[in-house]
Structure 1
Amino acid sequence: MFMLYQVQQTLADINKQKINKIMNLLKKGIGALLVIGLIISCDEEDEFTRVAPEASSGPGSSTTAVFSSFSAEASGDGTIVTVSPLTVGVDTYVVDFGDGSSPVTTAQGESTTHDYSNVEATADYTITVTTKADGYADIVKTQDITVDHTVESIDIAPDSPTGKLYNIFNIYTDSGYPIGSAGSGGNEVTLDSGNTLLEFSRLHSDTGVVELADEVVVADAFYNGVGAEVIHFDVYSDFATGIDKLKITLVDGTNTVNYEIDDLDLTDGEWTSFDFDLASDFSSPVSQFDSIIFELGATGTANDHATITVDNIYMPRTTGSTVINGDFEDGQDFWKWETFTDGETNPFGSSSDGSDFDIDGNDTGGKTRGAKWSSSQSGGEFRSSSSRYAYQELILTPGANYVLEYQYAIKDDSGTDPIGGRNVVGLILGEHFDDGADAVDSIGDNIGYHEGFIAEGKFSDTTDDFGTLVQIPFTASDNGEVAVMFYAVTPVDAYIDNVKVIAQ
Structure 2
Amino acid sequence: MSLIKKGISALLITGLIMSCDEDGYEPIEPVDSSGGSIGSVFSSFEVSSSGDGTIVTVTPLTVGVDSYVIDFGDGSTPLTALQGESATYDYSNVEASADYTITVTTKASGQTDLVKTEDITVEHTVQSIDSAPASPEVKRYNLLNIFTDASSVGTAGTGGKAVILDSGNNLLEFSRLHSDVGEFALSDEVVAADAFYSGVGSNDIHFDVYSDFATGIDKLKITLVDSTNGTSHVIDDLDLNDGEWTGFDLDLATDFSTPVTQFETILFEKGSTGTANDHATITVDNIYMSRMTGSTILNGDFEDGQDFWKWTTFTDGETNPFGSSSDGSNQDYDGVDTGSKTRGAKWSSSQSGGDLRTSSSRYAYQELNLVPGADYILEYQYAIKDDSGTDPIGGRKVVGVILDGQYDDGADAVDNIGDNLGFHEGYVAKGKFSDTTDGAGTLVQIPFTANDSGEVAIVFYAVTPKDAYIDNVKVLPLNP
TM-score (norm 2): 0.93
- Cα distance between partner residues in 2 of 1:60 and 1:142: 32
Match of 2:203 in 1: 229
Matched, 1:432 2:410: no
Name the structure with the higher helix share.
1
The runs of at least 4 consecutive aligned structure 1 residues that moved more than 6 Å come to 11-14, 58-61
Shift of 1:338: 2.2
Q: Is the 1:170–1:182 Cα contact (8 Å) retained in structure 2?
A: no
Matched, 1:392 2:366: yes
Match of 1:7 in 2: none
Match of 1:273 among 247, 259, 262: 247
Matched, 1:481 2:455: yes
Seen in structure 2, the aligned counterparts of structure 1 residues 462 and 298 have a Cα distance that, compared at 3 Å, is same
- Cα distance between partner residues in 1 of 2:87 and 2:93: 19
- Cα distance between partner residues in 2 of 1:484 and 1:75: 59
Query: 1:247 corresponds to which letter in structure 2?
Result: K
Kindly provide the CA deviation profile for residues 329-374 of structure 1, in whole angstroms up to 9, marking residues without a partner as x.
Answer: 1111111122222211111111111112111111223221111001
Seen in structure 2, the aligned counterparts of structure 1 residues 12 and 306 have a Cα distance that, compared at 3 Å, is closer
Structure 1 segments unaligned to the other structure (5+ residues):
1-10, 15-40
Matched, 1:90 2:68: no
For residue 169 of structure 1, give the secondary structure of its aligned residue in structure 2. strand
Match of 1:62 among 11, 30, 37: 37
Query: 1:86 corresponds to which letter in structure 2?
Result: L
Seen in structure 2, the aligned counterparts of structure 1 residues 263 and 59 have a Cα distance that, compared at 3 Å, is farther
Shift of 1:479: 2.4
Kindly provide the CA deviation profile for residues 28-85 of structure 1, in whole angstroms up to 9, marking residues without a partner as x.
Answer: xxxxxxxxxxxxx62221x2111114xx546987211110000111111000010010
Match of 1:138 among 113, 117, 120: 113
Match of 2:22 in 1: 44
Shift of 1:175: 3.0
Match of 2:417 in 1: 443
Match of 2:382 among 408, 418, 433: 408
For residue 440 of structure 1, give the secondary structure of its aligned residue in structure 2. helix
Query: 2:63 corresponds to which letter in structure 1?
Result: V
Seen in structure 2, the aligned counterparts of structure 1 residues 365 and 322 have a Cα distance that, compared at 3 Å, is same
Seen in structure 2, the aligned counterparts of structure 1 residues 491 and 61 have a Cα distance that, compared at 3 Å, is same
Kindly provide the CA deviation profile for residues 189-227 of structure 1, in whole angstroms up to 9, marking residues without a partner as x.
Answer: 111111111111100011111010111001000000000
Kindly provide the CA deviation profile for residues 444-469 of structure 1, in whole angstroms up to 9, marking residues without a partner as x.
Answer: 23221111111121111111211111
- TM-align CA RMSD: 1.6
Query: 1:162 corresponds to which letter in structure 2?
Result: E
Shift of 1:182: 3.9
Within-5 A mapping of 1:460-471: 460-471=434-445
Q: Is the 2:221–2:238 Cα contact (8 Å) retained in structure 1?
A: yes
**Stretch moving more, 365-374 or 219-228:** 365-374
Query: 1:187 corresponds to which letter in structure 2?
Result: K
Kindly provide the CA deviation profile for residues 238-287 of structure 1, in whole angstroms up to 9, marking residues without a partner as x.
Answer: 00000001000001111111000000100000000000000100001000
Shift of 1:481: 2.2
- Cα distance between partner residues in 1 of 2:246 and 2:446: 45
Query: 2:277 corresponds to which letter in structure 1?
Result: N
Match of 1:21 in 2: none
Aligned positions, number: 462
Q: Is the 2:17–2:44 Cα contact (8 Å) retained in structure 1?
A: no
Same amino acid, percent of matched pairs:
73
**Stretch moving more, 166-175 or 474-483:** 474-483
Match of 2:153 among 181, 185, 190: 181
Match of 1:351 among 314, 325, 330: 325
Q: Is the 2:140–2:367 Cα contact (8 Å) retained in structure 1?
A: no
Seen in structure 2, the aligned counterparts of structure 1 residues 367 and 124 have a Cα distance that, compared at 3 Å, is same
- Cα distance between partner residues in 2 of 1:380 and 1:59: 109
For residue 51 of structure 1, give the secondary structure of its aligned residue in structure 2. coil
Matched, 1:458 2:432: yes
Q: Is the 1:203–1:302 Cα contact (8 Å) retained in structure 2?
A: yes
Seen in structure 2, the aligned counterparts of structure 1 residues 13 and 83 have a Cα distance that, compared at 3 Å, is closer
Matched, 1:287 2:265: no
Q: Is the 2:331–2:338 Cα contact (8 Å) retained in structure 1?
A: yes
Q: Is the 1:58–1:135 Cα contact (8 Å) retained in structure 2?
A: no
- Cα distance between partner residues in 2 of 1:183 and 1:151: 19
Shift of 1:430: 1.9
Within-5 A mapping of 1:193-342: 193-342=167-316
- Cα distance between partner residues in 1 of 2:55 and 2:296: 59
- Cα distance between partner residues in 1 of 2:135 and 2:33: 76
For residue 418 of structure 2, give the secondary structure of its aligned residue in structure 1. helix
Q: Is the 1:161–1:175 Cα contact (8 Å) retained in structure 2?
A: no
Match of 1:114 in 2: 89
Query: 2:72 corresponds to which letter in structure 1?
Result: F
For residue 427 of structure 1, give the secondary structure of its aligned residue in structure 2. strand
Q: Is the 1:60–1:134 Cα contact (8 Å) retained in structure 2?
A: no
Seen in structure 2, the aligned counterparts of structure 1 residues 132 and 59 have a Cα distance that, compared at 3 Å, is farther
Kindly provide the CA deviation profile for residues 382-435 of structure 1, in whole angstroms up to 9, marking residues without a partner as x.
Answer: 111111111111122222221111011111222111112111111212222222
TM-score (norm 1): 0.89
Kindly provide the CA deviation profile for residues 120-151 of structure 1, in whole angstroms up to 9, marking residues without a partner as x.
Answer: 11111000111111111111111000101121
- Cα distance between partner residues in 1 of 2:419 and 2:174: 50
Matched, 1:102 2:77: yes
For residue 437 of structure 1, give the secondary structure of its aligned residue in structure 2. helix
Match of 2:475 in 1: 501
Q: Is the 2:216–2:277 Cα contact (8 Å) retained in structure 1?
A: yes
Query: 1:49 corresponds to which letter in structure 2?
Result: E
